[in-house]
Amino acid sequence: MNNGLMKKTLLDVRNVSIDYVNRNEAPAHAVEDVSFVLHEGEMLGLVGESGCGKTTLALSLLRLLPAAGRITEGEIFFKGTDWLDLTEKQMEEVRWKEISMIFQGAMNALNPVRTIGDQIAEAIRQHLGETRKSTLNAMVEELLDRVGIPPNRRESYPHQYSGGMRQRAMIAMALACSPDVVIADEPTTALDVMIQAQILELLSRLQKQLGLSVILVTHDLGVVAEVCDTVLVMYGGVTAEYAPVDVIYNFPRHPYTQQLLSAFPDLSKPTERLVSIPGYPPRLEALPPGCRFAPRCNKAFDRCHVEKPELRFLASDHAASCHLLEEK
Ligand SMILES: Nc1ncnc2c1ncn2[C@@H]1O[C@H](COP(=O)(O)OP(=O)(O)OP(=O)(O)O)[C@@H](O)[C@H]1O
Ligand SMILES: [Mg+2]
């Protein structure tokens, strides 16, 4: 998409809606009518504030939602097959081998009493059924090497690794079955800026070397600018805006994208004041009747408070959901 070449579509997510259904509570509409396409070798940034549904959407792609989660609408085509039509057994065949995921916070949940090498070997054993010790060792060493960890460090325990190394080990695990797509949920959150840059560099390098496609989940637009080709900006479970990265940064059309960008420092204009977005994202049990962003929007008018805006295409690769786009 970014260089004008027609790239193969790997993942085609169409109009996906997800509810959380808990006992004695009305269903919570965590994700509503979200669509996007992931091309071969592309890095897609999934951005938005805490609670906007990023992890929910990411988990749904692998059909790994928690028990209360239900995909109520939509299709998730991977290489032409709708994964929502597969049985759980068929899902087990494709999960991790086609698409794998680095779970949010997983680097802090490594088993403290088992070596890193053992834990990576366990992932390979589970997903590929490989049991020969010598083969497993060789595979673990190759994976560690690929993510920049000296292979002899496979004998170390998680507490003997730095935060950056633990996240590298998680990336190694995600690569264990040579997937086409890796979903990385907040892989750099909680790492310091230098280490964050190294992890992004690693993901970029792997993307190029292995032809990997990556869905990078983050609340940090700075991270997105650094490595992504396309961006899906979510707000309160819906798509605010979806476009190539340069369009999002230079010609944002949704007021949420615009306000989000003005809340980030621009090094080329260091004297400009940073503006924060007043208020909080909507609670799922009290969603506003019209546009979900209307209560915080600096451009909202009457219609925004009563009618949901449709997602409109401004170009073949640029969509946004805002009534202002129609009024003009
Ligand atoms: N098991 C659950 N039951 C009910 N509601 C849930 C459940 N899991 C998540 N939610 C709600 O769904 C919404 C989306 O949550 P999600 O974790 O997908 O957001 P997120 O964008 O990943 O946030 P963060 O940036 O904090 O990780 C939130 O309002 C959250 O409270
Ligand atoms: Mg999350």
CA neighbours closer than 13 Å in the CB half-sphere of residue 39: 15
Residue 1 has pLDDT above 90, yes or no: no
Q: Residue 235: what pLDDT?
A: 96
Q: Do 186 and 56 share a domain, yes or no?
A: yes
List the one residue out of 79, 95, 94, 98 whose CA is nearest residue 10. Answer: 79
- Of 149, 178, 207, the position where a domain reaches its end is 178
- The count of domains in the chain is 2
Q: Do 248 and 310 share a domain, yes or no?
A: yes
Beta-bridge partner residues of 99: 95, 181
List the one residue out of 19, 184, 16 whose CA is nearest residue 84. Answer: 16
CB 47 near ligand 1, within 6 Å: no
Q: Is 154 exposed, middle or buried (0-12, 13-18, 19+ CB in 10 A)?
A: buried
- Of 160, 178, 196, the position where a domain reaches its end is 178
Q: Do 159 and 188 share a domain, yes or no?
A: no
List the one residue out of 17, 15, 21, 31 whose CA is nearest residue 69. Answer: 21
Name the residue of 23, 24, 55 whose CB sits within 8 Å of the most ligand 1 atoms, as the mutation to test its pocket: 55
- Of 178, 198, 230, the position where a domain reaches its end is 178
Share of the chain above pLDDT 70, in %: 94
Which residue range forms the structural domain that includes residue 49?
A: 9-98+179-327
Instruction: Identify residue 143 by its one-letter amino acid code.
Output: L
CB 218 near ligand 1, within 6 Å: no
* CA of 180 relative to ligand 1 center, distance in Å: 26
Q: Do 112 and 148 share a domain, yes or no?
A: yes
Pairing of β 99-102 and β 43-47 = unpaired
**How far is CA 237 from its chain centroid?**
13
Instruction: Identify residue 26 by its one-letter amino acid code.
Output: A
Residue 205 has pLDDT above 70, yes or no: yes
Q: Do 14 and 128 share a domain, yes or no?
A: no
Q: Do 57 and 183 share a domain, yes or no?
A: yes
CB 52 near ligand 1, within 6 Å: yes
Range from 43-52, 109-118, 224-233, 265-274 carrying the lowest mean pLDDT: 265-274
Cα gap 257→112, rounded to integer Å:
40
In Å, how far are 80, 122, 239 from 128, measured between CA atoms? 23, 10, 36
Here the CATH number for the domain that contains residue 73 is 3.40.50.300
Q: Do 62 and 196 share a domain, yes or no?
A: yes
Token pair 């979900």: residue: 292
If one compares 6 and 233, the residue with the highest pLDDT of the two is 233
Contact 150, 185 (CB under 8 A): no
Q: Do 236 and 307 share a domain, yes or no?
A: yes
Q: Do 310 and 204 share a domain, yes or no?
A: yes
Residue 67 has pLDDT above 50, yes or no: yes
Q: Does a structural domain hold residue 131?
A: yes
Cα gap 9→199, rounded to integer Å:
26
Ligand nearest to the CA of 238: 1
Residue whose CA is closest, atom 22 of ligand 1? 55
Q: Does a structural domain hold residue 1?
A: no
pTM: 0.94
The alpha helices in the chain, defined as continuous H runs, are: 54-61, 88-94, 116-128, 133-146, 163-174, 193-210, 221-227, 245-250, 255-262, 324-327
CB 104 near ligand 1, within 6 Å: yes
Q: Do 115 and 42 share a domain, yes or no?
A: no
CB within 8 A of 202, min separation 6: which ones?
Answer: 147, 148, 168, 171
CB atoms within 5 A of ion ligand 2 belong to 54-55, 104
* CA of 57 relative to ligand 1 center, distance in Å: 10
Residue 279 has pLDDT above 50, yes or no: yes
Q: Do 66 and 161 share a domain, yes or no?
A: no
Q: Does a structural domain hold residue 229?
A: yes
